Structure 1
Amino acid sequence: MAIGKMIKHREMLKHPVLRRYLPETHWLTPVSHLQMLRSYSSIFVKPNHGCGGAGIIRVERKRNGYEVRFGQKRKYVSSDSVYSAIRSHQKPSQQYLVQRGLRLAKYRGSIFDIRVYMQKPYSKWVISGMLARVAAPNRYVTNYHKGGHGESLNKVLSHLFRNNRRKVNHTLNEMANLSSIIAETLNKRHSGIRELGIDFGIEKSGRLWIIEANTRPGHKLFNQLPDKKMLFIIKKNKRLIQTLH
């Protein structure tokens, strides 16, 4: 069940709790990207129906202009040429949105975000797994298909918060609580959803952001964890969902 990123973003935006965790996001237009670049030092341009990190473009403000980055390709342009540089990497058939860039925390020199895997095998949503997705060196997306790898979330958060257990637990609880609200909020409008991959970004300060919620999440990264407990639960719940629904 593929639902566009903007629809999900707007549905979450209506919720008073979720609103303050959502980075500013608009449809990409010649005007919107410039307004965003005036407010933030970087922006991400994403296909509305993209998955696996495909088609994501990053624009970053530099001293003498802007760096437009698509995969491993980089182009340095003036503000007048940013839009045409973005357009050169787009698929004409796709709609795109522009989102505020986040200064994600790093783990061993690479940025990371967090994937919470939620499932609804029966009548209630459950968290089947949580992990950190660590980007490949010098990459700006963390997806498996772009070289990202899975790490134990406990280990990565302990590293970020210098073994401050209270901070680690607070962050885990905050994400679990937000994930439940996201699942219920989206499920109200889309009753057929039974799985969600919720991606959180976390800044060095510990500030949490909701990057997006995926209705067709992959679970390959859970394969990479030494402990296969979460992978087992995900697969078991997948079987239940297929059998019962």
Structure 2
Amino acid sequence: MTIGKMKKHKEMIRNPILRPHLPETHWMTGSRTLRMLQTYSSVFIKPNHGSGGNGIIRVKKLRKGYEVRCGSSLKIAGPSSVLKAIRSYRKSKHRYLVQKGLRLEKYHGVIFDIRVYLQKPKHKWEISGMAARVAAPHKFVTNYHKGGHAKPLQKVLISLFQNNQSKVDACYRKIEELSIVIAKTVNKRHSIHELGVDLAIDKKGRIWIIEANSHPGHMLFTQLSDHTMIRTIMENKRSIGI
């Protein structure tokens, strides 16, 4: 049984180290969604048990009205019809969250986030893989199954911080530290041996926690020319017995 997004969010937000890195997230209701749209320029509406970027709806403020997107489908709605547009994309049997949208940094003009693959083959959490996930053109999700592709994280951070190696190293360390804390926090209440942590960097250089996935996919790491990470992941899987 997968652990719902809201359960993990509530567990993480209790941790004072993680709390500043979590975007505002609530169970979705019509009134809550409208309030968040008054506060933020965009919101994301996600199924509590969704994976692979499936079913995610982005609502973005326009000068007049809203752009509501799900996958490759797009609707323009006014303030009075935006909830109807959102409902048209929702699956009735799923519970949804509404989350603050982030103004993410870009790599060569395209949004990206960071996938950290953590495993606990023995008694200690370790990072088996870290890579940037670069979205396909015109996509607002970076997932592998939605056309996202892997880039070496160092390469993307060097581009982002304009060859400032000390900033790259500091960011890299922060990503590692946060990821280990996330794994330990989620593991307190759930018996898990793998975790996929998705982080993002906004326009101000702040690191945000997008999601922690208790059943992470590893195919992203097969796209890297250096196969060290995917070999480590597969060796640890054998050790864990997955």
1:120 aligned residue: 120
Within 2, Cα distance between the matches of 1:205 and 1:101?
Answer: 14
CA offset digits 1:41-85 (Å, max 9, x no partner): 000000000000000000000001100011111111111211111
Question: Unmatched 5+ residue regions in structure 1?
Answer: none
Name the aligned partner's letter for residue 165 of structure 1: Q
CA offset digits 1:141-189 (Å, max 9, x no partner): 0001100000000000000000111111111111111111111111111
SS in 2 for 1:80: coil
> TM-score scaled by structure 1?
0.97
1:59 equivalent to 2:55? Answer no
Within 1, Cα distance between the matches of 2:35 and 2:10?
Answer: 19
CA-CA distance at 1:35 after TM superposition:
0.9
Percent identity reads 59
1:222 equivalent to 2:215? Answer no
2:241 aligned residue: 242
CA-CA distance at 1:204 after TM superposition:
2.7
Name the aligned partner's letter for residue 54 of structure 2: A
Question: Unmatched 5+ residue regions in structure 2?
Answer: none
Within 2, Cα distance between the matches of 1:220 and 1:107?
Answer: 21
Structure 1 runs, 4 residues or longer, greater than 3 Å off: none
The answer to whether the 8 A contact 1:61-1:67 is kept is: yes
Name the aligned partner's letter for residue 12 of structure 2: M
RMSD after superposition = 0.8
Within 2, Cα distance between the matches of 1:65 and 1:146?
Answer: 27
1:31 equivalent to 2:31? Answer yes
1:204 equivalent to 2:210? Answer no
Name the aligned partner's letter for residue 196 of structure 1: L
Within 1, Cα distance between the matches of 2:79 and 2:157?
Answer: 37
> TM-score scaled by structure 2?
0.98
Name the aligned partner's letter for residue 114 of structure 2: I
CA-CA distance at 1:26 after TM superposition:
0.4
SS in 1 for 2:159: helix
* Structure 1 stretch displaced more, 143-152 or 69-78: 69-78
SS in 1 for 2:6: helix
CA-CA distance at 1:205 after TM superposition:
2.4
